[in-house]
């Protein structure tokens, strides 16, 4: 049955309600993203595990976080956004709660790595792209920016609280908080997170009645579709296109220089230089504050300017920051360190809106699933960097080589991004880009 046109008296389009609930879900799922850097030193002190062992658990989490994303996008098309999101939040809560009982390294790998990796992978940035592509005809870049900032807001909300709990009550109390926050969002998701505009009896935001049958189709639940086949089919089609591999390379470096390095190792590195963990956590919280502003601004810019140029600027800017970080850490907290934190925060996930926009432009109806595969590369890069930085620290006693190597990779990402071609990719029939 065709969807009813939106009522002319409606003041708030349901798309904005869905976006608000999605934002809260991303905040609730973000608790663990702040956790490893705060938990790493207490676990090392209690169990005597090396940084390499703990970094391995984080790396497995990041790998699964990434590899789950494209399948999660396909599952959202198969079973609906609401069911997948609610299940993911429950899995995150279970993984965080069970982590309080660990006594062996393999157990932290199972909870931190496997359970939370699968759960957060289903709540990855591809979730933001799916919401934007499904519910919005206009303002997609802005919406992706707002939803992406939900992860930053989660870091902002949780990181100082987790650091205080770890210091005053132990890391297990902090784990219980993360579990509770994830599960608390589930009732809101079940009540308010509609699967598609058709389910709510409206058109996507910004789409007039004349656009109902035009343009790229919005992803809606396809009860007969096979999620794995859908995800792998999108990968097969995208892998024929240079644009896909350029995005993969750039986003892998993006993950290495955010979640992998700063997200996992900034607090331990600051601790090596004599900075209290609570102070370092506070600095990362400032990163979260400015990440919100930077990502929303990036979404606004993406709706107006060439996303390839935006990506090149973002990556090069990040590389310059990493280049000076070792010097700033050596001099502890001072105005220059705060300037770095502000600048890095503005740039943290500003890359997401332009990357999602290029995926949508180049791959049409496959855009959300293809973005899932690009995001998988982001997390594989993060996993490699998280483990490599821990190994560098154990081998050399400091992180300096890791920071310099990441800065060089940012320049590579900037060049690759600037060279991405515009328009529909060559060599792939346009019809194939939307084939089920």
In a domain, 2, yes or no: no
List the pLDDT tens digit at each of the 436 positions of the chain.
Answer: 444 554 444 578 888 999 998 888 888 777 666 677 778 888 888 888 877 778 788 788 878 877 887 888 778 877 888 899 899 889 988 988 998 898 888 888 888 888 888 888 787 777 887 888 888 888 888 888 888 777 766 766 777 788 888 888 888 888 898 888 888 889 989 988 888 888 888 888 887 665 444 444 444 444 445 667 888 888 899 999 999 999 999 999 998 998 788 878 888 888 888 888 778 877 877 887 888 888 889 989 998 889 999 999 999 999 988 988 888 887 655 677 778 888 888 888 789 889 988 998 888 878 878 988 898 898 889 888 988 888 888 888 888 899 999 999 999 999 999 999 876 555 444 434 444 3
What's the number of domains the chain is made of? 1
Write the pLDDT tens digit of every residue in 180-223: 888 888 998 998 888 888 888 888 888 766 544 444 444 444 44
In a domain, 73, yes or no: yes
In a domain, 430, yes or no: no
Write the pLDDT tens digit of every residue in 250-298: 999 998 998 788 878 888 888 888 888 778 877 877 887 888 888 889 9
Structure tokens given for 222: 């396809």
Q: Which CA distances in Å does 327 have to 270, 286, 366, 397?
A: 12, 20, 44, 16
In a domain, 361, yes or no: yes
| Average pLDDT score over the chain | 81
What gap in Å lies between CA 286 and CA 409, rounded to an integer? Answer: 25
Query: Which of the 8 DSSP states describes residue 209?
Result: G
Q: How many CB atoms lie within 10 A of CB 228?
A: 12
Structure tokens given for 165: 């709990």
In a domain, 268, yes or no: yes
Residue percentage of the chain with pLDDT more than 90 = 16
Q: 190-200 b/e with 16+ CB inside 10 Å = b?
A: eeebbbbbbeb
421: domain CATH number is 1.20.1250.20
What gap in Å lies between CA 322 and CA 343, rounded to an integer? Answer: 11
pTM of the model: 0.70
In a domain, 215, yes or no: no
Look up the domain containing 128 and give its range: 14-201+224-425
What gap in Å lies between CA 124 and CA 192, rounded to an integer? Answer: 19
């Amino acid at each position: 049955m065709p969807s009813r046109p939106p009522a002319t008296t409606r003041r708030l389009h349901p798309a904005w309600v869905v976006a608000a609930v999605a934002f809260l879900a991303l905040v609730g799922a973000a608790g663990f993203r702040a956790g490893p850097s705060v938990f790493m030193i207490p676990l090392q002190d209690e169990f005597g595990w090396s940084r390499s062992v703990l970094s391995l658990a984080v790396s497995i989490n990041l790998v699964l976080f990434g590899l789950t994303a494209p399948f999660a996008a396909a599952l959202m098309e198969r079973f609906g956004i609401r069911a997948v999101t609610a299940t993911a939040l429950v899995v995150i809560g279970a993984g965080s709660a069970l982590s309080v009982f660990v006594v062996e390294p393999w157990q932290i790998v199972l909870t931190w790595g496997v359970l939370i990796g699968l759960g957060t992978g289903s709540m990855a940035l591809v979730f933001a792209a799916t919401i934007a592509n499904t519910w919005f005809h206009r303002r997609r870049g802005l919406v992706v920016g707002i939803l992406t900032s939900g992860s930053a807001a989660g870091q902002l909300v949780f990181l100082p609280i987790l650091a205080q709990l770890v210091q005053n009550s132990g890391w297990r109390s902090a784990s219980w908080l993360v579990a509770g926050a994830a599960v608390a969002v589930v009732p809101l998701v079940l009540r308010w997170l509609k699967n598609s505009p058709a389910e709510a009896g409206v058109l996507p935001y910004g789409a007039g009645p004349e656009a109902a049958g035009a343009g790229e189709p919005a992803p809606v639940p396809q009860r007969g579709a096979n999620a794995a086949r859908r995800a792998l089919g999108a990968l097969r089609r995208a892998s024929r296109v240079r644009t896909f591999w350029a995005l993969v390379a750039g986003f892998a470096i993006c993950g290495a220089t955010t979640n992998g390095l700063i997200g996992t190792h900034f607090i331990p590195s600051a601790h090596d230089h004599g900075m209290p963990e609570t102070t370092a956590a506070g600095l990362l919280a400032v990163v979260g504050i400015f990440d919100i502003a930077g990502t929303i601004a990036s979404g606004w810019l993406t709706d107006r300017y060439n996303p390839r140029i935006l990506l090149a600027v973002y990556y090069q800017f990040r590389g310059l920051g990493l280049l000076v970080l070792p010097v700033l850490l050596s001099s502890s907290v001072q105005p220059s360190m705060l300037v770095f934190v502000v600048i890095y925060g503005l740039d943290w996930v500003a890359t997401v809106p332009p990357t999602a926009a290029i995926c949508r432009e180049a791959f049409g109806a496959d855009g959300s699933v293809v973005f899932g595969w690009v995001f998988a590369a982001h997390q594989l890069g993060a996993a490699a960097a998280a483990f490599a930085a821990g190994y560098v620290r154990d081998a050399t006693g400091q992180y300096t080589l890791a920071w310099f190597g990441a800065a060089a990779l940012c320049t590579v990402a900037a060049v690759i991004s600037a060279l991405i071609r515009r328009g529909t990719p060559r060599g792939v029939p346009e019809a194939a880009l939307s084939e089920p």
